[in-house]
Structure 1
Amino acid sequence: MSTAARRAIERVAHSIHRRGLTHGRTGNLAVRDGDHVLLTPTGVSLADIEADQLSVVALDGTHIEGPKPTKEAFLHVAMLRVRPDLNAVVHTHSVYAAAVSCLADVDPDAPIPPLTAYYGMRVGALRMLPYFAPGDPAATSAVEEAARVTHALLLRNHGPVVAGVDLDSAVDALEELEHTAQLFFVTRGLATAPLTPAQLHAFAAPSERSPS
C-alpha cells in the first residue's frame, strides 16, 4: 500500500484532533489506494494514529489486512464506490455541525444555509440523512443515494461525512462546513442573506450545471 497515503492519513488525523474537530476516540478517515481503501482503525484516537497501523479494506468493505477498521468503514466505502472522482473521506463529530444534526426544524435537503462564498465553493450542497445508529450498515443505501448528488453529508444526531479528491480537499470542505454551522448558530433568529441559487450555480463544475 502507498506510503504517501499512509503518511497523509497520519498527518491529517493528528491535525484534526489537535484543532478540536473531533474528540476522544471519535472520527475516522479513509483514502482510496488503487482497488483498496486505507482506513483508521477502530478504538484509536485520531491523535494516536500511526501510518503503519492502518486498516485495509476492499471497496465492498471486506477487511483485507491490518487492525480491525472503524465500525463506520461502510460510510467511507459507500461514498467511494459511487464517487470514482473522489478519493478520500473524513468523518468527525465536530461540535457545530453535530449540533445542527440534532435540530428538529432544519430542512434535510439544506440543513445549513449557504452563508458564505467559501461554503459555496467547498461544500456546495449538503444533505442530512435520517438517523441510523453509529456503525449500522443499514445506512449504506442512504449514503450511496445522497453521495451521488453531493460530497457532503450530515448524519442525523451524529456528525458530518465529507469526501474530496484528496484528503486535504475533504478536510478543507469539512472545516468550511463546521465554520458555516457556527455562523448559522451565531446568526440564528436574525435576518441573513444566504447566497442565491444563481450565485451557488456559479461555483458548480460545468458537468454539474443544469442546461440553460
Structure 2
Amino acid sequence: MAEATKTPTGVVEAYEKLAREVLERPESIPSAIHNLLLKLAETHPGAVYWIIRKFYQEYLRLYVSDTGYIGIADRYEPDLMYPGDIAIYMVPESPKEGDVVQITFTDKDEVSVYVIHGRVLRCNEDRSIQIEDTSTGEDYRVVEWNILGKLVKVIPFGSDEWQELFQASGVPKEWVAASVEGNITSLQKSDISGKDEVISELRSRLEKLV
C-alpha cells in the first residue's frame, strides 16, 4: 500500500521551483493547479486521486472531521452491507479495536485505486493499525495515511431513511441496479458461506430497482 514519504532535503528546491512556475502561470492559481493535476492524471490517475483525497483529509482536517462522508455500497461485504445500502463514515482521530474502517491504496505503479473495508484488530505504537479485510479475511498493517474513514452506520436499502437520502443524492437507480447485477454474477461463481441467501436478497432488490 502506498504511504506518505518525507521529501529528501536535496530535492526541496526542485519542488519550490515547480511551485513558483505553477503560481506564475497567467491563468488563475486554481486553474493552473487543476491543469497540472489533469496532466499528471493522464499517466497516474490513481496517485492523483489518492493524494487529493488525503490532502484535504489531513491539511483541512477540521472540515472533514465536521462532515464525514456518505456513499452507496457497490459490493457485498459480509456482515456489513449489501450493494445499494447507504454507508455513513466519519474521520476518527484514533481508530479503536473493533472499528470498521475504509482504506484506500494504489497499485505499485500508482495508476489504479483500490478501496477496501477492514476491521481493526489492534492499534500499533507508531499509529499504524492491523486490520482484517472484511471480504477476504486477509490481515494487513495499514498506516494512518491510508485510512479514509470509520464506518458508523449502514442504512438498509428501501428503508424510509434510505428513500429520503437516496432521492437527495441524485444517483440513478440504473447505477445501483447494475451494481446489484454485477454482484449477483460474481457471487454465483464464488463459494462464500450463505451465498444462496445473499443472492436471494440481491434479486429482491433488483426487482425493486427495475
TM-score, length of structure 2 as denominator length: 0.27
Q: Which has the higher strand share?
A: 2
